[in-house]
């Protein structure tokens, strides 16, 4: 046993007892709910925020600042968790998020709000990546898919519940409650986490890779700025072209820097793993498709079908139902390592089918038919994200769980921003083309779809058809991204069974330690 003991202690080993797993997972689910709700609630409140703080010109930075900060710090949080223990960093990230939420809620001008959103993004990014990595500490590989599936369901629910809550807070209370609501929920999660999360041994002592972290943060900054403001600044503008060139140059510098680092924030061996690289690319494409659906389908329902924000959320329930059910089933099926690729292929195929069906929607598409399309799309969306994460976590040593989870989370964040930006450009361009020739007198503006209401009745139908057609074409243009994901999944190497066996040894040793402590 001496050799096994030495091997076990070199890794972060969970000491959570089975009875404590439920409490620990409840804290993690609450944290993911907070972080995922934050963006969807705030997006609904942005018009009122801009009005109250007199900041219409710069209001886009309220969302971009959070996304920018959370994406930039994700790899660093993951690596620090591997080095110093994830529990203490998770508590620090959650505390940072809550303090920043209060600062957002009491901000008196837009500059203060944007600054607080940056700090909130720093905490939120840590909460997400450390949550995913902590699942790897708490449960063995065979059960990771089942538990990771919970978080995917939380994302789906947040995408529907968030706008509803944002509307209620904005209309009946104050937009400040979109931030202040985080405090009571977050404090409960913080207390449970402090008591229930397992302690873990620290990883090997090493110097922090400051240069690698700085370069990676700069790359993330460039990617988020390009995807968030490319359309607004102009895709061919000097600023966007300069950002693209600088980001590519930094990416080329990153690999040699990481090879020389004592404790690289992105271990080169991990970046050389086909499982990690292919899984991250799949996560990128799948999230691009997912967010183009979650962000723009409610807009289609509200403008083309004339429903309220509340009713658009209700109309999206088939999508959420499909997502929640498929997440649960995929998590259970993923307990068998050899099934991971099959589940991933099935999810990507269903998602692709859903996008192709959405590519047929029009102004007269019935509610029943839309519900069927939403259900199929939701099933596909739900089967992919956490299976990808489980595949990566099962393919790396426990000491690299944080870094591996950060790579996938990073890819998902960039994919989400990319999908929203590209689809927005396709939608706006298609709508402007479809309404060319319509009179602008009376208040109609092709850059603002909500101004369709200013058109005469006869022309209004033409504009609504143009918007529906532009939305459908957008999904047809996004669909090839999932086809690429399917191609990558075909060559994805299944998770190593040796790694799974090693982890089982660690969990057995941890359980033995618990029994001795109890005795």
pLDDT in tens, 260-302: 876 676 777 777 777 888 888 888 888 888 888 877 887 788 7
Of residues 139 and 222, more confidence is placed in 222
- Any residues with CB less than 8 A from the CB of 389 and at least 6 apart, and which? 132, 148, 279, 283, 405, 408
Q: What is the mean pLDDT of the chain?
A: 74
In this predicted structure, what is the pLDDT of residue 464?
A: 84
Q: Quick one: angle between helices 367-383 and 340-358, nearest 10?
A: 150
Q: What is the CA radius of gyration of the chain?
A: 23
Task: List, in order of start, the domains of the chain with CATH numbers.
Answer: 16-199 (1.20.1250.20), 209-262 (no CATH), 273-519 (1.20.1250.20)
354, two tokens = 């859903």
Whether 402 shows a pLDDT value over 90: the answer reads no
User: Do residues 387 and 146 lie in contact, with contact meaning Cβ atoms separated by under 8 Å?
Assistant: no
What is the distance, to the nearest Å, from the Cα of residue 360 to the centroid of all Cα atoms in its chain? 27
Structure tokens given for 21: 């797993």
What φ, ψ does residue 91 adopt, rounded to 5°? -65, -40
474, two tokens: 């957008």
- pLDDT bracket for residue 475 (50, 70, 90): very high
Q: Is the pLDDT of residue 113 over 90?
A: no
Higher pLDDT, 499 or 417: 417
Q: How far is CA 40 from CA 46, 63, 144, 163, in A?
A: 10, 10, 27, 6
Return d(Cα 464, Cα 515) in angstroms, integer. Answer: 67
Q: Which residue is associated with the tokens 């919970």?
A: 150
3-state secondary structure of 445: strand
Tell me the per-residue pLDDT of 440-474, one tens digit each, with 9 for 90 and over. Answer: 656 666 556 666 766 777 777 888 888 889 899 99
Chain segment 327-369, per-residue pLDDT in tens: 777 766 665 555 677 888 888 999 999 999 999 998 888 888 9
Task: Return the structure tokens found at 220.
Answer: 């993330």
**Is residue 51 within 8 Å of residue 169, measured between CB atoms?**
no
pLDDT of residue 345: 87
Burial environment of residue 22 by CB neighbours within 10 A (0 to 12, 13 to 18, 19 or more)? exposed
């Amino acid at each position: 046993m001496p050799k096994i003991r030495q091997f076990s202690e070199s890794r972060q080993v969970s000491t959570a007892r089975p009875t404590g797993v439920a409490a620990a997972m409840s804290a993690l689910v609450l944290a993911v709910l907070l972080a995922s709700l934050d963006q969807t609630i705030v997006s609904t409140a942005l018009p009122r925020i801009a009005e109250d703080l007199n900041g219409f010109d710069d209001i886009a930075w309220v969302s971009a600042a959070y996304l920018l900060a959370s994406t930039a710090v994700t790899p660093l949080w993951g690596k620090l968790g591997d080095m110093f223990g994830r529990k203490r960093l998770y508590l620090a990230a959650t505390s940072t998020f809550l303090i920043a939420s209060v600062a957002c809620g009491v901000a008196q001008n837009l500059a203060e709000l944007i600054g607080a959103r940056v700090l909130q993004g720093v905490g939120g990014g840590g909460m997400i990546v450390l949550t995913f990595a902590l699942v790897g500490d708490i449960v063995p590989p065979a059960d990771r898919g089942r538990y990771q599936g919970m978080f995917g369901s939380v994302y789906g629910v947040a995408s529907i519940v968030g706008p509803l809550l944002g509307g209620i807070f904005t209309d009946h209370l104050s937009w400040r409650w979109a931030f202040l609501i985080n405090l009571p929920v977050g404090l409960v999660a913080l207390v449970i986490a402090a008591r229930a999360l397992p302690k873990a041994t620290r990883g090997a002592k090493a110097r922090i890779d400051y240069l690698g972290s700085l370069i990676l943060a700069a790359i993330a900054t460039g990617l988020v700025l390009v995807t968030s403001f490319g359309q607004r600044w102009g895709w061919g503008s000097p600023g966007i072209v300069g950002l693209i060139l600088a980001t590519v140059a930094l990416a080329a510098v990153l690999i040699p820097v990481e090879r020389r680092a004592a404790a690289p924030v992105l271990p080169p061996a991990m970046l050389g793993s086909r499982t990690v690289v292919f899984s991250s690319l799949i996560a990128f494409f799948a999230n691009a498709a997912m967010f183009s659906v979650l962000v723009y389908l409610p807009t289609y329902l509200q403008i083309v079908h004339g429903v309220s924000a509340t009713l658009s959320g209700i109309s999206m329930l088939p999508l959420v139902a499909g997502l929640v059910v498929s997440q649960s089933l995929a998590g259970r099926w993923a307990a068998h390592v050899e099934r991971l690729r099959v589940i991933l292929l099935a999810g990507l195929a269903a998602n692709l089918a859903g996008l192709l069906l959405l590519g047929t929607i029009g102004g007269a598409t019935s509610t029943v038919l839309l519900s069927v399309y939403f259900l199929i799309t939701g099933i596909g969306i739900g089967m992919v994200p956490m299976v990808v994460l489980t595949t990566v976590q099962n393919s790396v040593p426990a000491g690299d769980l944080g870094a591996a989870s950060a790579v996938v989370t990073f890819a998902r964040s960039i994919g989400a921003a990319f999908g929203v930006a590209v689809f927005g450009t396709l939608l706006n361009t298609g709508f402007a083309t479809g309404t060319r020739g319509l009179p602008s007198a009376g208040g109609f503006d092709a850059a603002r779809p909500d101004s369709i209401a200013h058109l005469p009745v006869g022309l209004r139908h033409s504009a609504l058809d143009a918007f529906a057609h532009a939305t459908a074409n957008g999904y047809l243009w996004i669909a090839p991204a999932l086809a690429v994901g399917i191609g990558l999944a075909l060559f994805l190497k299944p998770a190593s069974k040796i790694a799974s066996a090693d982890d089982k040894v660690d969990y057995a040793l941890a359980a033995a330690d618990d029994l001795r402590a109890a005795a």
